[in-house]
Amino acid sequence: MGKLALIGAGGVGGNVAHLAAMQDIADEIALIDIAPGMAAATALDLNHTSGITGAKVRCVGGESLDLVAGAEVVVVTAGRARRPGMSRADLIDVNARVIRQAAEAIRSAAPDAIVIVVTNPLDEMTVEMLRASGFPRERVLGMAGTLDSSRFRNALAMAAGVTPADVEAFTLGSHGDEMAPIPSRARIKGRALDTFLSPDQIAACVQDAVTGGGQVVALKKSGSATIAPAHASIELIDHIRGARTGPVPVSVMLQGEYSIDGVVLGVPAHLGAGGLVEVEELRLTGQEQTALQKAADAIRSRLGL
């Protein structure tokens, strides 16, 4: 990849830049943040590691959105983070303004870029990015499904006493209270969950996936998760650049898939150099399909659709 741009150089953005630099994902990484000196400092700090790591990437940083120019992928993490007692939905109005500003800059300076939205509330902000940028759904993706599915896999692995690599599991729906982990499609060492776990254990794992982000917020007391979201963002970038293949959970605008239209939800999908290639439709139970529809209805309601 030629250039990766990060709008927001705080906890998530800084970690994405670090991971991308260590893996030589791009020739250039541009960090942008409104906090004076933050992006430039992070870029300089990362450049200083090259003598140790041998990384070839060049990092630049500043406060101007003009730095997105020519980026092939733009990861948007800028915006206010959750505090204890806040839901992701509480951030809609304030962070929508940030997304609109980012969209304008991307549309002007990087019109062919693929955009990965990380800013919360993620599904709603992905809709806002689609509206404001005018980009097709293939080039505006939300990170949430990747992170939520990782949390679900981790919970299942912990409960079963195996490693997350032994677990296959997807989480669909919204990045919030209407999240819909899909136990019926999950597998541990290739076998159904009830081979290893009781119904109560499975239910507890579902709950852990839904509340995992809130648990981090409550413990930190200021700010939200940064490390896992950064790794989830890198996973999407890896699928875009062809370093990984197969379906990956990602938030996309649905156009009839899962009998839902006109709303962004987390679903398994195939990605490629142009962004979204195809949504993979899983066979769901009636309860799981209802949960997915509930998530769609909730997002529509919050956005006034």
Q: Specify whether the CB–CB gap between 40 and 62 falls below 8 A.
A: yes
Rg of the chain (C-alpha set): 19
Choice among 48, 175, 239, 270 that is catalytic: 175
The CB density around residue 127, as the number of other CB atoms within 10 Å, is 26
Distance, CA of 160 to CA of 179 (rounded, Å) = 22
The set of residues, in sequence order, having a beta carbon less than 8 Å from that of 22 and lying 6+ positions away, is 49, 53, 55
276 in helix, strand or coil? strand
CA 225, 251, 238, 109 torsion-angle sign: negative
In the DSSP assignment, the letter for residue 63 is S
CB 276 within 8 A of CB 254: no
175 in catalytic set: yes
DSSP state letter for 38: H
For 230, the 3-state DSSP assignment is: helix
- Which helix or strand (DSSP H or E) is residue 100 part of? helix 92-109
Q: Which of 147, 289, 283, 288 has the alpha carbon at shortest distance from 214?
A: 147
Q: What is the largest CA-CA distance in the chain?
A: 55
Count of CB atoms within 10 A of residue 28's CB?
A: 16
Residues acting as catalytic residues = 175
